[in-house]
Structures are given as structure tokens and as C-alpha cells.
Amino acid sequence: MKKSSNSKVPIIIAHRGAQYIYPEHTIKGYKKAIEIGADYIEPDLVLTKDGVFVARHEPFISGTTNVKDIPEFAHLKTTKVLDGIEVTDWFVSDFTLKELKILKAKQSWDNRSKAYDDKFEIPTFEEIIALAKNFKTAKGDPVGIYPELKHPTFHKDIGLPMEDVFLEQLEEAHFNNKEAAIYVQCFEVGSLQYIHSKSTVKLIQLLGASGINKNGSLRFTKEDGSYDPEGQPYDFVVKGDNRTYEFFATEEGMKFMEAYATGVGPWKPFIVPITNNDNIPREILHPTDFINLAHKYHLEVHPYTFRNEDTKWTTNEETASEYQLFFEAGVDGLFSDYTNEAVKARDAFINKD
């Protein structure tokens, strides 16, 4: 059996559940992802007005729920500053859990089925933990959970600090240790460092970028050089720390992460770069030294996000070819919208002669 370079079978993380079938972040979608072979299910976590963790990709929810269609909540549409950017929408933090449970999830992708819109409620983190504990993976292992703390600085600024509430919930669930089937991820650094100081739970530093230059290098500001929240941890911005996510891809950055993190979750082009020239087809470039550096500092590498709609890394008509590029590069796991495709590609990779 062939495995990745560090002799571990890569894990498959169901990104927001089986969202190619069902709306993202629903119990039905998580359960389906487990059934088709996910090792971990991934809930993004935000807090309600009464301090309950629920699964939504962002603190604002018009794109993933039917909130626009509920007249009694029309007055809750508001403008807030999220990571330095004004956003006008409905925010989870203005709803109690009871109010939020009135809403129903909807598909956020135009090209994916709307057949299950308005059928499923928004799950709490407690409900997701219960689901994971009640099922086994297709291989008979405990179902792992891979929660992301979304925008901790935003929540702190509106009086809803996340970290201690989260740690209490992990403790209640007996997930608050490094042996538990859980990874905790965040784009902000301070939250992970704080959790590390209180717990041995596995932590993943997420890395983003603002875009890709023509030659395949990554950009960490907007094209005009101005601040872009995609390219820098927002807690760094608040503290006046000028380091962008580019820093974390260096040897110094890897050493920095080793002090608090179990691994790193980079956007895919940190590992396999691609050119971005509109005049010619994109070219897939040779993998960077990102994985070798991460492994040197004992960090697992779980890139995001694999989805059929994103064909920039597809080397032929088979979606499996993109997965193979990253498995061959040595990733320890990956996030996919299409759990079925990811599991099939992973199984083909590890069973190569």
C-alpha cells in the first residue's frame, strides 16, 4: 500500500458536510458525509445572542438561510464591521437560539440542487457532537469533528468571546485532549494560542491569501496594495502586527506555529502553485517546499478546499487528478465539498502498487 510521505493515510474532511447534495451545515449533510466515508465532519462555529455555538459559515446568514423570507426578522437586518469591512446583513449574534431555530438552511451554490432548501434547521455544536458520537466512520472508527472558530475578534468586540465557552463545551464532551478525534481550526492566531495554553486539543492554523499573481506567486493584499482580510490574521491587524499569511509559509513561520499548533490548513496554492495569466491556460507548477517545511516542524498539512467547480488544478476530465497531485505532494488530509470524490481518490492513491 502506498501512503503519503509521512506514512500516514490522509484523512478526508467533509467541508461543511455533504454540501454538494444538501445545504451546508445541516445534520442531514453531516450524516450523509459520514455514510459516504468522511473521517471528519467540519462545522464552522459562530455564537448566538445568548452565547450558543451554532454552525454557519459566516456570522451573517442571508446567503445560507431563508431569513429574508421571515417578516418577523426584517428589523434585525443591520450593518456591522467584520474584520475591518462593513457588512449589511442579518447576523447570528442578533438572534437567540430559539429565534434562530425558526430559520431553515438553503443551498448557497447556484449550480447545486435547491431540492433541500427550507427543510433543515441550523444545528448547534452540541447537536453535531452528539451526531458524531452516535455514529462510526465507514472504517468503523470514531467520527471526528473539525470545528472552525469563525472571526473570534469580531465576536469578542460585540461581547461574545468564544474561547472559554468553546473549551467548556469540549470538556463536557470529553474532547478536550490530544487523543480525541477532533481538530480545532482558526485563521486568527491568538485564539489558537489561548486554547493551547489551556488544553492539549489538536489545533490547526489556517492560512489564506488575497489572490494569485500571473507567475503563480501568492498575493497577500489587494492588487492596489491595500489591506485585505483574506491575506492577514485579523487579530494581527488589531495589534499592529504587519505579518501576513506569507510569513507562516517560511521556515521562521513554521517554527512559530510549532509552538502552539498541531498542523496547518493552507489554501491549495501554498502547496501546488498555478499561474494566473488570462491570456494563456493556467499552468500547474511544481509543488513548493511547504509540506517538507511543515513536516520538519512536526506540523500536519490539511489544505482547502477541493470542489468539482474549481477546475484550476484538474489535469484531465477526471476530478481525481487534482486529488492525486496533492496526495503525491504528501498532504496529511484535505477538505472537500465532494466527500465521495475525495474518498474515492484517496482509496485509489493508497492502493497504488
- Active site amino acids: 15, 57
Type of residue found at 20: Y
Nearby residues of 334 by Cβ (< 8 Å), 6 or more positions away: 10, 11, 12, 13, 302, 303, 304, 306, 323, 326, 342
Instruction: Please give the span between the terminal C-alpha atoms of the chain, in angstroms, as a whole number.
Output: 7
Q: Is residue 119 a contact partner of residue 27, using CB atoms and an 8 Å limit?
A: no
- Host H or E run for residue 182: none
Grid cell 458525509 in the structure block, residue: 33
Grid cell 475591518 in the structure block, residue: 84
What are the Cα distances from residue 36, in Å, to 130, 138, 221?
A: 19, 7, 38
Grid cell 498575493 in the structure block, residue: 219
Nearby residues of 307 by Cβ (< 8 Å), 6 or more positions away: 15, 20, 336, 337, 338
Q: Is residue 46 a contact partner of residue 56, using CB atoms and an 8 Å limit?
A: yes
Grid cell 491575506 in the structure block, residue: 231
Q: Is residue 257 a contact partner of residue 205, using CB atoms and an 8 Å limit?
A: yes
